[in-house]
Amino acid sequence: MNEEASTDPTSPAEEDAARDLRLMLRVKEGDVDAFRELVETHQSRIVNTVARMLDDAAEAEDIAQQVFLRIWKSAPRWEPAAKFTTWAFTIMKNLVFNESRRRIRRGTLPLETKDDGEDVQFQHADESVKSPDRAMLDAEHQDAIERAIQELPASQRMALVLRRYQDVSYEEIAVILKLSVPAVKSLLFRARSDLREKLRVYLEG
């Protein structure tokens, strides 16, 4: 038998989705170990996405816990209509948008400029291989990007964060935001255009 003919063409992403499906089927039956594995696999993506949306590490941890709590409580009624990640990100999106609306009603800003280094989780400059001046410029540039992202409308910000930092497909973002794929691409185009305008001083420099 030709070995090449029997080669499994399944992609890593498809394998991950199949693993999540197997785990959720076990969670549906009350399997705590399967649930723990799902949490360990996906928690960091949820936390990082929320942190970028709200610029609040403590709130990100809290919302991530709420996401998985809702998944656990909903598991007995769960049906595999979409990828697990799509479902989890949709729950996260609803919680984040609710929190954003609460902040608007309270009159608090989604981002406050910090001078004490508390937002270092968003800094990616490697100072071990760069001069201090270059590292400072890179950190300033990254901080400007994060602040510009925070100033985007919530839907644009969510689409951009999911696409740029979590490599979520257009199709999956469309399901999460309840939009068509062309609408998602248009949303991302507007978000990137807005960011380029806000960051013009850095890009030109």
The arrangement of secondary structure in 126-205, i.e. its CATH architecture, is Orthogonal Bundle (1.10)
Question: Which residues belong to CATH 1.10.10.10 in the chain?
Answer: 126-205
**Rg (Cα) of the chain, in Å, rounded?**
20
- For domain 11-108, which CATH number applies: 1.10.1200.10, 3.40.50.150, 3.40.50.970, 1.10.1740.10? 1.10.1740.10
DSSP character for 75? G
- Residue 109: how many CB atoms within 10 A of its CB? 11
CA distance 162 to 146: 14
* Residue whose tokens read 């001078």: 115
pTM of the model: 0.77
* pLDDT, tens only, 174-203: 999 999 999 999 999 999 998 888 888 666
Check residues 10 and 75 and name the one with the higher pLDDT: 75
pLDDT of 137 over the 90 cut: no
* pLDDT, tens only, 75-87: 999 998 889 999 9
* Per-residue pLDDT, 151: 86
Mean pLDDT of 9-14: 80
pLDDT of 131 over the 50 cut: no
Among 4-18, 90-104, 134-148, which range has the highest average pLDDT? 90-104
* Per-residue pLDDT, 147: 82
Question: Which residues belong to CATH 1.10.1740.10 in the chain?
Answer: 11-108
